[in-house]
Structure 1
Amino acid sequence: MADVRVEELSKSFSGQKALNAVSLSVEAGEMVALIGASGSGKSTLIRHIAGLVRGDARGGLVRIGERTMQHNGRLSADAKTIRRGVGVIFQQFNLVNRLAVITNVLVGVLGHVPQWRGTLGLFTRAEKQAALVALDRVGIAHTAHRRASTLSGGQQQRAAIARALVQKAKVILADEPIASLDPASAKKVMETLATINRDEGITVLVSLHQVEYARRYCPRTIALRDGAVAFDGPSTALTSDFLKELYGEASEELVLPDAPFQPHASREGILHGPKLATA
């Protein structure tokens, strides 16, 4: 059963289509990359799936598991409840710098405890222990009582992943989580996401700006072009030549300088759009 299902989702800003009848599904336990050149609609799609943005009035359907997040531009009445099971990892970490790392991670329990406890920051011993376990899971337990502002970018992003674990998220939506990180930190963050996907069975949809990380960590990739799905298939198909065919000159921003060239890789998958329909 799909953990994420999007059907004919559209979104316009000032008359311009940011998403154009996007349809896709991510099965439970998958780790899927979402790629595309700048302006292709990756972040917009992630935010719609998370229920943070509403689609057009006839903008299609988003479902998480068996529950509808939004339909035709309207969030469902229980969207807030659905979000409890969806962890969102942003590019800019979204940690409160002045608070301790463990306190930031404990934010993940707010959807599961009475509002008054969350407002007062009153967490149980079991909840604090769960936060420490999550920090250990992502390899930064030693930072638990440091201010979030003292962490490196990669450590802050792993703290955000720990927060999603404490949230007991069944689905993680990661919106370009490594875009502002150096290669070593980016590798650790991607390895962390891949590990919890494999060991915990958490479904991961991760938006990536450079395709090499999709090739390395995600068996399947969905590529957006001009707000529409242009490719959905195995990441091994994403050769430099294929990306150039798909994106033209814009493909240069998607390929790392040291990306391996695979001229004979399979092109199995679903190709969409007039240019590639006959490829």
Structure 2
Amino acid sequence: MTAIQVSNLSKRFGRTQALRDVSLSIGKGEMVALIGASGSGKSTLIRHLAGLEMGDGAASRIELFGRVAQSGGRLGPQAKELRGRVSVIFQQFNLVGRMSVLTNVLLGHLGKISRFRGTFALFNRTEKAAASAALERVGIAKTARQRASTLSGGQQQRAAIARTLVQRAEILIADEPIASLDPASARRVMDVLADVNARDGITVIVSLHQVEFARQYCPRTVAMRDGAVIWDGPSSALTNAFLGELYGASAGELVLADGAVPQPASATAPAHSPKQPVLEPA
């Protein structure tokens, strides 16, 4: 089953063409890395998938689980229900710092409870048990009563993932979730993302600057440049020569030497043929 189908998606902000006729299909249960230099269109694409932006032109279309989320610059009739099946994690964590970690995770129940209960944070025993189990799952159960602002960056990201588990989202989109983390914390966050993908069957799309994490954790990679998809295929097929062209002067900081990081045994190529990694002037 296809979880996400993007067709002819374009977006312009003033004179800037942020997305150029993007078409993309992601199957249910895939874990896909989204890579590209700053300004390549990754975050703009994510905002469209999350329903936060509308595409330009009559041909632009996004479907989730075979139903229209947006088409021709307008939300589909089932957009609200579909949005509840998608969770987005941002680099900034989006936790309420003054609230406890447990309460932040409990907010994943919003949309499934009455507005009255949500407004006054009136959660029942079953909902609290689900939030506690989610914190245990991501390895930070001991922080439940702490204010969210006291957590490290990596712990805050894991709390955000726990909130996704409580929400019971079927698509998890992570926009640069490890960009500001040290390597050990980044690996713990990626371990949790890989675990929820493998054990829960949640479709995971993760935008990354650290290409080695894409190679290690994501069987498939989509690369963008100037708002267009210029590579879509198995992460194991990405060469450092291609990545050097993609990232330019920044490549040395983002990519290790060939063979420095082993490929995961579970990595497999997608069923479709990858787009060839040819970088041509826009």
Could you tell me which residue of structure 2 aligns to residue 225 of structure 1?
225
Could you tell me which residue of structure 2 aligns to residue 84 of structure 1?
84
* Structure 1 residue 134, shift from structure 2 partner: 0.5
Could you tell me which residue of structure 2 aligns to residue 50 of structure 1?
50
* Structure 1 residue 75, shift from structure 2 partner: 1.4
State TM-score, norm by structure 2: 0.91
In the alignment, structure 1 residue 261 sits paired with structure 2 residue 258: yes
Q: Residue 242 and residue 100 in structure 1: after superposition, are their counterparts in 2 closer, same or farther (change >3 A)?
A: same
Cα offsets for 1:192-248 (capped at 9, x unmatched)? 000110111111000001211100100100000110000001111222112124454
User: Secondary structure of 2:110's match?
Assistant: helix
User: Secondary structure of 1:261's match?
Assistant: coil
> Are 2:37 and 2:246, in contact at CA under 8 Å, matched by a contact in 1?
no
> Are 2:230 and 2:276, in contact at CA under 8 Å, matched by a contact in 1?
yes
> Are 2:68 and 2:77, in contact at CA under 8 Å, matched by a contact in 1?
no
Could you tell me which residue of structure 1 aligns to residue 162 of structure 2?
162
- Aligned pairs for 1:95-114 within 5 A: 95-114=95-114
In the alignment, structure 1 residue 177 sits paired with structure 2 residue 182: no
> Are 1:32 and 1:205, in contact at CA under 8 Å, matched by a contact in 2?
yes
* Structure 1 residue 274, shift from structure 2 partner: 6.7
* Counterpart residue type for residue 130 of structure 1: A
* Counterpart residue type for residue 217 of structure 2: Y
User: Secondary structure of 2:34's match?
Assistant: strand
CA distance in 2, matches of 1:186, 1:31: 17
* Counterpart residue type for residue 82 of structure 1: L
State TM-score, norm by structure 1: 0.92
Structure 1 segments, 4+ long, off by >3 Å, are 245-254
* Structure 1 residue 5, shift from structure 2 partner: 1.1
Could you tell me which residue of structure 2 aligns to residue 198 of structure 1?
198
- Comparing 161-170 and 65-74, the one that deviates more: 65-74
> Are 1:61 and 1:71, in contact at CA under 8 Å, matched by a contact in 2?
yes
> Are 1:8 and 1:60, in contact at CA under 8 Å, matched by a contact in 2?
yes
CA distance in 1, matches of 2:181, 2:77: 37
Q: Residue 49 and residue 123 in structure 1: after superposition, are their counterparts in 2 closer, same or farther (change >3 A)?
A: same
Q: Residue 253 and residue 67 in structure 1: after superposition, are their counterparts in 2 closer, same or farther (change >3 A)?
A: farther
Q: Residue 100 and residue 59 in structure 1: after superposition, are their counterparts in 2 closer, same or farther (change >3 A)?
A: farther
Q: Residue 199 and residue 136 in structure 1: after superposition, are their counterparts in 2 closer, same or farther (change >3 A)?
A: same
Cα offsets for 1:144-163 (capped at 9, x unmatched)? 11100111000000000000
User: Secondary structure of 1:231's match?
Assistant: strand
- Comparing 194-203 and 79-88, the one that deviates more: 79-88
* Counterpart residue type for residue 86 of structure 2: V
Could you tell me which residue of structure 2 aligns to residue 24 of structure 1?
24
Could you tell me which residue of structure 1 aligns to residue 73 of structure 2?
73
> Are 1:61 and 1:70, in contact at CA under 8 Å, matched by a contact in 2?
yes
- Identity, in percent, stands at 60
Report how many residues are paired. Answer: 271
> Are 2:101 and 2:159, in contact at CA under 8 Å, matched by a contact in 1?
yes
Could you tell me which residue of structure 2 aligns to residue 270 of structure 1?
275
Q: Residue 222 and residue 2 in structure 1: after superposition, are their counterparts in 2 closer, same or farther (change >3 A)?
A: same
- Comparing 241-250 and 84-93, the one that deviates more: 241-250
User: Secondary structure of 2:108's match?
Assistant: helix
